[in-house]
Amino acid sequence: MTPIQETVKRDTPNKTPSRGLRGRWWLWLPAPVLLAVAGYSYWGHASEPASTSPGRGQQVTAVIAAPAKQGDIGIYLTGLGTVTPLNTVTVKSRVDGQLMKVLFQEGQVVKEGALLAEIDTRPYEAALTQVEGQMARDKALLENAKLDLSRYQVLVKQDSIQKQQLDTQESLVHQYEGTVKIDQGLIDNAKLQLVYAHINAPISGRIGLRLVDQGNMIHATDTTGLAVITQEQPIAVIFPIPEDNVPPVLKKLKAGEKLPVEAYDREQKHKLATGYLVTIDNQIDPNTGTVRLKAEFQNKESELFPNQFVNARLLLDTLHGTTIVPTAAIQRSPQGTFVYVVNTDQTASMRKVKIGPAEGDNVSVEEGLSPGELVVLEGTERLREGSKVEAQILGAESSPKDNK
C-alpha cells in the first residue's frame, strides 16, 4: 500500500459502531430520563403483591376473632334525664308568732304528720278564752229570749198582748241564734290557730337545711319558710326522646304494657336503679324536637338523688333469635357496613352486613351473617380480601402449642 492510500484509510471515519457501544446505548440518554426510568422500575416491582413474587409465600396476619351468636337483644330509647321528686314542699308557718322549738334535724327523713316546730301559743290561747266567754254570754241571752218567746205565745192566745210583740220576740231569738253561730266560728278559728302553731310535716320525705333559727319571729307571709321536704321514695326521672319515637311508645302505653326504664350513671357503666315508665308529656318541644317522658323508681336504697343527672334507657321491645356480634367487628366504608369473616381455609373475606339495634358492646345483624361464623375483632386494618389469617378465638383456651 502506498503512503497516500494509507493516509486516506486512516482519515476515513468508521460508520459502523462497535458491538460494545451498541449494547450501552442508554449511556447516551439525558440524566433526568435515566432517573425517571429507574424510579418507574423500582416502584413497579415494589407494588407487586408478595404472593406473585417468585419463591415468596403469602404473608399470614394474626387476628382475634369471635363467633357470631344467636340470642335476644333489646331495643332501647336513651336520653339524659333528671331525677325529680314526686313531691316537693316548702314548710311554712300559717300563723304569726315566735318560733319556740325546732324539733327536726337537717337531712332527716320524716313521716307525714311528724311535729317539726312549735310557735308561741299563748296569744292564741288567750283569744280562744275570749271567744269562749263571748259565746257563753250569747247562749245565755238566747235562752232568756226563748223563755220570753214561750210566754208571749201563751199571752197571745189569751189575747193579752199584741201579735206584733210576739213577732218581735221571735226575731230576737233568731238574732241570738245567729250570734251563737258566729261565736262558734270564732272558737273554731281560735282552735285552728292553736293547731297551726304546731307545724307538722305535710308529706313524707327528706327534710333539707334549716332556713330559720329558733327564737325568730315568723309570719304567714314569709316566702322562705322553715325548710324544704322532698319525697324520695318513690322518685321520678324525666328524660327526653326524639319525636319520631313517640308513636311506638304511646302504642305500648295504651295497650297497658309496663315499659321498664333503667337509670345509669354519667359514664353509662353502672346501673343505679330500675323502674317503669309512668306517662308521656302532652306536647313536643319545638326547639329540640323531643318529648319528655316520666319514669318512676321505688328508690328504696336511695340510689337516686333529686336533681341528679342520669342516663335513662327505656326498653321499647326485644328482638328474639337474632344474630349478635361484638360492636368491634363492624367496619364502615363509603359503600356501607361490613365485617371480615374467617373462612375454613384460614382466609379473610369481606362481607356486607345490615346492622340492627345495639345493646352495650353487642350489635344485631339483620342480613349478611349467620350464627357460628367467625368475625374478626382485632387486626382488621391489616386485612384485604383473601388475606391469609391466623385467628385466635376470643375466650377460647390457648392450645398446647401456644403454651410452649
Residue type, 79: G
Among 50-54, 111-115, 140-144, which stretch is predicted with the lowest mean pLDDT? Answer: 50-54
Q: Region 120-141: what's the mean pLDDT? A: 95
Q: CB under 8 Å to 361, separation ≥6 — which residues?
A: 326, 327, 328
Provide the pLDDT for residue 381.
87
CATH 2.40.50.100 in the chain, residue ranges: 87-116+202-230
The SS3 of residue 357 is strand
Helix (H) or strand (E) holding 237: strand 235-242
Instruction: Decide if pLDDT at 40 tops 60.
Output: no
What percent of the chain has a predicted confidence (pLDDT) above 90? 61
**For 76-86+231-318, CATH number?**
2.40.30.170
CATH 1.10.287 in the chain, residue ranges: 121-196
pTM higher than the cut 0.85: no
Name the band, by pLDDT with cuts 50, 70 and 90, for residue 58. low
What is the Cα–Cα distance from 285 to 113, expressed in whole angstroms? Answer: 39
Check whether domain 87-116+202-230 has CATH 2.40.50.100, yes or no = yes
Give the pLDDT confidence of 260-275 residue by residue, as tens digits: 999 999 888 899 999 9
What is the Cα–Cα distance from 102 to 225, expressed in whole angstroms? Answer: 13
DSSP state of 48: S
Q: Region 12-31: what's the mean pLDDT? A: 46
Instruction: Decide if pLDDT at 106 tops 80.
Output: yes
- Look-up of cell digits 300563723: 95
What is the Cα–Cα distance from 317 to 332, expressed in whole angstroms? Answer: 27
Helix (H) or strand (E) holding 252: helix 246-254
**For 60-74+320-395, CATH number?**
2.40.420.20
Instruction: Decide if pLDDT at 386 tops 60.
Output: yes
Could you tell me which of 273, 281, 298, 245 has the C-alpha nearest to residue 75?
245
Select the more confidently predicted residue: 121 or 17. 121
Buried b (16+ CB within 10 A) or exposed e, 260-274: ebbbbeeeeeeebbe
Mean pLDDT of the chain: 84
At the top level of CATH, the class of 121-196 is mainly alpha
Contact between 382 and 340 under an 8 Å Cβ cutoff? The reply is no
Among 49-58, 349-358, 379-388, which stretch is predicted with the lowest mean pLDDT? Answer: 49-58
DSSP state of 354: E
CA torsion 87-92-94-99 (nearest 10°) is 150
Q: Region 291-305: what's the mean pLDDT? A: 94
What is the Cα–Cα distance from 176 to 247, expressed in whole angstroms? Answer: 67
Instruction: Decide if pLDDT at 22 tops 60.
Output: no
Among 50-64, 103-117, 375-389, which stretch is predicted with the lowest mean pLDDT? Answer: 50-64
Provide the pLDDT for residue 31.
52
What is the Cα–Cα distance from 260 to 241, expressed in whole angstroms? Answer: 15
Provide the pLDDT for residue 57.
54
What percent of the chain has a predicted confidence (pLDDT) above 70? 83
Side-chain-side CA neighbours of 354 within 13 Å: the count stands at 4
Provide the pLDDT for residue 360.
79
Instruction: Decide if pLDDT at 363 tops 60.
Output: yes
Q: What is the 3-state secondary structure (H, E, C) of 189-204?
A: HHHHHHHHCEEECCCC
Residue type, 207: I
Q: CB under 8 Å to 275, separation ≥6 — which residues?
A: 234, 237, 260, 261, 263, 295, 296, 297, 298
What is the Cα–Cα distance from 185 to 189, expressed in whole angstroms? Answer: 6
Give the pLDDT confidence of 147-206 residue by residue, as tens digits: 999 998 888 888 888 889 889 999 999 999 999 999 999 999 999 999 999 999 999 999
CATH 2.40.30.170 in the chain, residue ranges: 76-86+231-318
Q: What is the CA radius of gyration of the chain?
A: 48
Name the band, by pLDDT with cuts 50, 70 and 90, for residue 118. very high
Q: Region 112-141: what's the mean pLDDT? A: 95
Q: Alpha helix (H) ranges present in 158-223?
A: 163-196
Widest CA span in the chain: 204
